[in-house]
Amino acid sequence: MNAQHKTQAKVQNLAHKSLELSLAAPQVVAQRVGRMMLAGTHPSARDQQEFYRMGSEKVVAFYESWMGMWTQACTSYWQTAASLCTTPMLAPSSSNPLAAFGVGKATSRMVTQQVQAVTEVLDAGLTPVHAKAVRNAKRLSRSKR
């Protein structure tokens, strides 16, 4: 599988996670708001625990997402820097007069690499949020009130 196919598979995986998140998040919000309404002004200990969990897991998911994106961005930066060191200098020739402007095979490879890097950074940020939302949707849909 070449780099372009790997990138395409990662983009499809990212789209799949985004779709699942777009379905799970509203479901979790509806279930929790309904639970708050049923609890009223005197929530049970179980409801209080769920409400506390609701707030704390958002903070944890934010930090996991931010850290994942930051780590992946740094990794991608160093991969790109290493790639630039191995890319032959582009010199205009009779076969490719536009090489001086960065148009050629090396540029195509670098563009593919950058698309892959952006996809990996987005995936690193979405993964923790997606995991928590989908897990909560499953857990809350089967829990008794």
Mind spelling out the 3-state secondary structure of 68-123? HHHHHHHHHHHHHHHHHHHCCCCCCCCCCHHHHHCCCHHHHHHHHHHHHHHHHHHH
Q: What is the pTM of this model?
A: 0.74
Q: Which residue has the higher pLDDT, 1 or 61?
A: 61
Banded pLDDT at 6 (limits 50, 70, 90): confident
Q: Comparing C-alpha atoms, which of 118, 113, 81 is closest to residue 3?
A: 113
The whole-number pLDDT of residue 103 equals 57
* Helix (H), strand (E) counts: the chain: 3, 0
pLDDT single digits (tens) 86-116: 765 544 455 655 555 555 666 677 778 888 9
Q: Is the pLDDT of residue 131 over 80?
A: yes
